Amino acid sequence: MSPNYKEDQAEQLRKRSQRHSEEAMEEEKIPVSSLPSRKETHKNTRKKVKLRIHFPLARLLLLIFIVIVVLAVLTPFWLEK
């Protein structure tokens, strides 16, 4: 080992990290009064649209329809083999 490392090899990294965190803290000092309210911030967030089918029979029919369509598309490929 070189004599620059003395006891602790990570000392230089700790100093660099500490300087970086101090600089970041200085940059992040924003007065709270200048920030928008929470209501204004979250007003424009969109909710996810969920397709919900409430009837079990409708779900079953939709599933069967999708399977028939997939089979109709894939049948020519299976018949070639």
Whole-number Å distance between alpha carbons of 14 and 17: 5
How big, in percent rounded to 5, are the helix, strand and coil portions of the chain? 65, 0, 35
- pLDDT tens-place string over residues 38-51: 888 788 777 777 77
What are the structure tokens assigned to 8, written together?
A: 């602790």
Whole-number Å distance between alpha carbons of 12 and 9: 7
- Per-residue pLDDT at 2 exceeds 70: no
Stated pTM of the model: 0.34
C-alpha triplet 4, 10, 11: angle, nearest 5° = 70
Domain boundaries, given as residue ranges, for the chain: 56-81
